[in-house]
Amino acid sequence: MNFAATFRIALLALRVNKMRSALTMLGIIIGVAAVIVMIAVGGGAQARVEDQIRSLGSNIIIVLSGSMTSGGARGGSGSQPTIFEEDAYAIGREIDEIQAAAPTLRGNGQVVAGNSNWSTIFYGITPDYLEVREWPVVEGRGFEPAEMSGAGKVVLIGQTVAKNIFGDASPLDQVIRVRKVPLTVVGVLDRKGQSMTGQDQDDLILMPISTARKRVLGAALAKSRSVSSIMVKVRQGADMNDADQRMRELLRQRHRLQPGQDDDFFVRNLSEILQAQEASSKVMTLLLAAVASVSLLVGGIGIMNIMLVSVTERTREIGLRMAVGARSRDILTQFLVEAVTLSLIGGAVGILLGVGGAMLIAELAGWRTELSGSSIILATGFAGAVGIFFGYYPARTASRLLPIEALRYE
Amino acid sequence: MAETLIRVEDLAKEYRMGTNVVPALCGVSLKIEAGEFVAVMGPSGSGKSTFMNLLGCLDHPSGGRYWLGGQEVSQLSGDELARVRNSKLGFVFQHFNLLARTSAQDNVALPLLYSGMPPHERKLHAEKRLAQVGLAERMDHHPAQLSGGQQQRVAIARALVNDPQLVLADEPTGALDSHTSVEIMALLQQLNREGITIVLVTHEYDVAHFAGRIITFRDGKVIEDKPNVANDAAAQLK
């Protein structure tokens, strides 16, 4: 007896009791739909968390100068100028995983404009810096190439600085003095808010790195090409650790460090925070899926219940089938196929409902949902497994009936 | 005469009811030739149903041996017995045992499903047998749309569809009125004349009289086994 015939018998038996089959499937339908919707909602939440963290700069690696030891006192990171602008350009050029590498020169000082003043941090940067930090200019413009190469007297200011110096007036084209050097405000940066460590990220001004070196920081640095730090953005989807590793190797090579010699620079990144956040949202998705799976399990028990009723009700039919030549294996297959068909049809409807439900939630509640193919495959596989698992016992009960007793059953 | 189709020797069956062992059949030996029409009679509890179940390979004997068409079947496993039933036997039951909401044709074709015959051949065989019992017009009817007599004809067509060596009919008229009973018995008689061996269980003497030989059971033993001389006369009256 071939499988197609068994399948037809199963479909026929299910069609005979349309209402009951539909109600039995309902358990599986709801279970599968719930699993898909929950995983979609959880996946959406996870993606949102990832996006937020990424905007904070989770895919950013910061390279800092090494430390200087003088007279037994170690100076801490950045105390010795060991990294240079060329290091930054080499990193950006030679490592595929890296989208942009921005050298920065840091300083602080009093900003004066008219009769107001404000103490803040300034950075000498290249345009890569704005790309690395995903930081748009909301008013005015960024730096021109000529200003970059020619130490142009221009500056971009953060929201906090703009507010404290200029109040509600427009800062564009105004002149501010940084360490007594007059610079023209050409643009205002977008609001970034607090950093993860609670610092006000908007309290800063940015100027071309050449301007910072030659005009603002003064004679000590004017001739050097050293920088305070290099901010590196890793390409989306690239592995943070690979990028980190390749960058270290490149810097060691450029700095001619021998094997066994310590790095003369420091590397920091925020991937640990990202990992912790991702782990927690994964746990949440898993939890949601687990709760939804319970309903799938309940659906499976519903199938077992109905199949047992069906076996009892159809005892005479089973007896007859055995009398005309069905082996117990044929009966087992028939009932198992019935149960699996029930659960798979229920699974298919559940997938449609789940996908529709996830879309509806995204539409109505405005939640981000992320449908994944793997959750659909998982739910289908689970529905099939439920059918086999909960269908097996009733099917075996049917196949173990004795023909004479089954025939005599009233 | 014709070859021996059924030979049983010392066939016995006991049922266990808790600690009690209840003998249902105590050492029956007999032969049935191919082409015979045998009625098995006896009061309830006489062992006639047990005997039928054993003949029908639906049950294992507790003792004795049973040859069906030269093959010893008393020692076969469950699946082997299923195969014997599928290829050599046809059953007609008191309550028809047709599948509800299933066409007459599909009901008749059911045994062929388990012998692995391709669908179109199953259909052809079922059509032929339905025509043989006079229901060619009702091929697509469901059992609920047929009268009792017609349902039993469908069941008979089903019993014949696998070209069995032996048709076993267990009280085939038990659920029918007397007029329809006569029709069904006449049909069985006619099939027997066409060469099919039939063993019939009944407790009605009128029904048994359509057979050519009557075996009577009591307390698990054969107490009478004789040719039915009235058979030919009765048949000619119809």
For residue range A349-396, list pLDDT tens digits in order. Answer: 999 999 999 999 888 888 888 888 888 888 888 888 888 888 899 999
Reported confidence tier of residue B10, pLDDT bands at 50, 70, 90:
very high
The residue among A233, A254, A269 that closes a domain is: A269
Interface list for chain A against chain B, based on CB atoms closer than 8 Å: 1-2, 5, 9, 12, 16, 316-317, 319-330, 402-404, 407
The residue among A269, A297, A327 that closes a domain is: A269
CA distance B158 to chain A (A): 9
Q: Are residues A81 and A178 in the same domain?
A: yes
Reported confidence tier of residue B165, pLDDT bands at 50, 70, 90:
very high
Residue to substitute from A14, A321, A324, interface B, most B β-carbons within 10 A: A324
- Beta-carbon separation of B79 and A323 below 8 A: no
- Beta-carbon separation of A325 and B102 below 8 A: no
Question: Taking Cα atoms as reference points, which of B160, B207, B225, B199 lies closest to residue B51?
Answer: B199
Query: Could you list the residue range(s) of the whole structural domain that residue A103 is in?
Result: 60-269
For residue A319, list chain B residues with Cβ-Cβ distance below 8 A: 97
The answer to whether residue A108 scores a pLDDT higher than 80 is yes
Looking at residue A157, what is its pLDDT? 93
Looking at residue B237, what is its pLDDT? 46
- Beta-carbon separation of A321 and B115 below 8 A: no
B113 touches chain A (CB under 8 A): yes
Question: Taking Cα atoms as reference points, which of A100, A88, A149 lies closest to residue A128?
Answer: A100
pTM: 0.68
Over residues B79-136, the pLDDT tens digits come to: 999 999 999 999 999 999 998 888 999 999 999 988 888 889 999 999 999 999 999 9
Residue to substitute from B83, B85, B113, interface A, most A β-carbons within 10 A: B113
- Shortest CB distance from A323 goes to which of B91, B99, B113? B91
CATH number of this structure's domain B34-62+75-237: 3.40.50.300
For residue B85, list chain A residues with Cβ-Cβ distance below 8 A: 322-325
Give me the interface pTM, i.e. the ipTM. 0.91
CA atoms of B177 and B148, how far apart (whole Å): 9
- Beta-carbon separation of B97 and A329 below 8 A: no
- Beta-carbon separation of A321 and B114 below 8 A: yes
What residue ranges do the domains of chain B occupy? 34-62+75-237
Instruction: Return the percentage of chain B with pLDDT > 70, whole number.
Output: 95
- Beta-carbon separation of B115 and A12 below 8 A: no
The residue among A225, A254, A269 that closes a domain is: A269
Q: Are residues A249 and A212 in the same domain?
A: yes
> Could you tell me the end-to-end alpha-carbon distance of chain A, in angstroms, rounded to an integer?
28
Segment A189-206 shows an average pLDDT of 82
Which residues are within 8 A (CB) of A190 and not within 5 positions of it... i.e. 6 or more apart? Answer: A135, A136, A137, A138, A159
Domain count, chain A: 2
Q: Are residues A88 and A119 in the same domain?
A: yes
- Beta-carbon separation of A325 and B99 below 8 A: no
Return mean pLDDT, chain B: 89
Over residues B24-39, the pLDDT tens digits come to: 899 899 999 999 999 9
B114 touches chain A (CB under 8 A): yes
The answer to whether residue A277 scores a pLDDT higher than 80 is no
CA atoms of B172 and B156, how far apart (whole Å): 9
CA distance A26 to chain B (A): 24
Residue to substitute from A14, A15, A320, interface B, most B β-carbons within 10 A: A320
CA distance A310 to chain B (A): 14
Segment A56-66 shows an average pLDDT of 77
Q: Are residues A42 and A122 in the same domain?
A: no
Q: Are residues A301 and A223 in the same domain?
A: no
Q: Are residues A171 and A233 in the same domain?
A: yes
- Beta-carbon separation of B86 and A325 below 8 A: yes
